[in-house]
Amino acid sequence: MSALSALLLLVPLAIPVASLNPSCAPGGNFDLSPWQLQLPIGSAGDPTTISSSSLEGCSGYENFSYFFTESGDGALVMKVPGSPASSGCVTTANSQHCRTELRESNSWSPNNAVNRLSVSLAVEVPDNSGYGTVIGQVHIDDSVSTKPVCELYYSTAGELTMGVEQTRSGGDEVMTKIGNVPVGTAFSYEIIYEKNVLSVSINGGSAKTLSTYSLDAPLSYFKAGNYNQGSDASDVHFFSISISH
């Protein structure tokens, strides 16, 4: 079997969900203290943002249209209704796409010894764009650029693709196929950007190292959620989300 074949034949992950309480808001099941939540509602260019303090705890923030606990298994559900044109959803000032997405509150240096985002999830409904919904990101600090370092996409065909910007001005992502997981199947990913090396792994497999071109280790922060790239609705269920620094 070739290395590429081994990479693409990803084994579905058995996600333990017994510890998730369906009766709690997401903040009762997940440590949301490092995060703030961006929603696809609000005013044009200024979507509603929920602070970490409002997210925390079993009675923390919940919105049953966009960000809530699944009544069956306790998963954290993040939904986006579509695009501004198709659904009237609201985007940030520097994007044409709507999101229900957690944004890390503090930035860090990619030269640090440890910077890792670890997530387990199932993409129940990807959007209809070419590469699909963005389920995880490293984003450049707003004081440096409005662009991401990288975005992990998940398509309607179950394809996982990592797009990495070549420059801080953006608009020149290089797309690399990472693997394939059938729609609705639970899996995990880990994005690592430490010691100035960017890599990603799926289901605990070997990490794939990706070039960061001319980015030169900009201050960055993690994002995790459902960043819709298309015109139809998307629905992502999360079973665990953690960061390490």
Give tens-digit pLDDT for 211-245. 999 999 999 999 999 999 999 999 999 999 999 99
Residue 55, phi then psi, degrees to nearest 5: -80, -30
Q: Give the CATH fold of the 3-244 domain.
A: Jelly Rolls (2.60.120)
Q: Shortest CA distance to 94 belongs to which of 38, 50, 132?
A: 38
Helix (H) or strand (E) holding 4: helix 3-8
Strands (E) in the chain, as ranges, are: 35-43, 46-50, 67-69, 76-80, 99-104, 116-125, 133-140, 148-154, 159-164, 174-180, 187-194, 197-202, 208-210, 220-227, 234-244
Mean pLDDT for all residues in the chain: 94
Number of neighbouring beta carbons within 10 Å of residue 66: 21
> For 9-18, 30-39, 198-207, which range has the lowest pLDDT when averaged over its residues?
9-18
What is the rounded distance in angstroms from the CA atom of residue 126 to the CA atom of residue 45? 24
Q: Are 95 and 38 in contact (CB under 8 A)?
A: no
180 — pLDDT class (breaks 50, 70, 90): very high
Query: Is 144's pLDDT higher than 50?
Result: yes
Which pLDDT belongs to residue 100? 98
**What 3-state class would DSSP assign to 8?**
helix
18, two tokens: 């017994």
**What 3-state class would DSSP assign to 179?**
strand
Strand partners, 92: 45
C-alpha count within 13 angstroms, C-beta hemisphere, residue 42: 19
Query: Is 3's pLDDT higher than 90?
Result: no
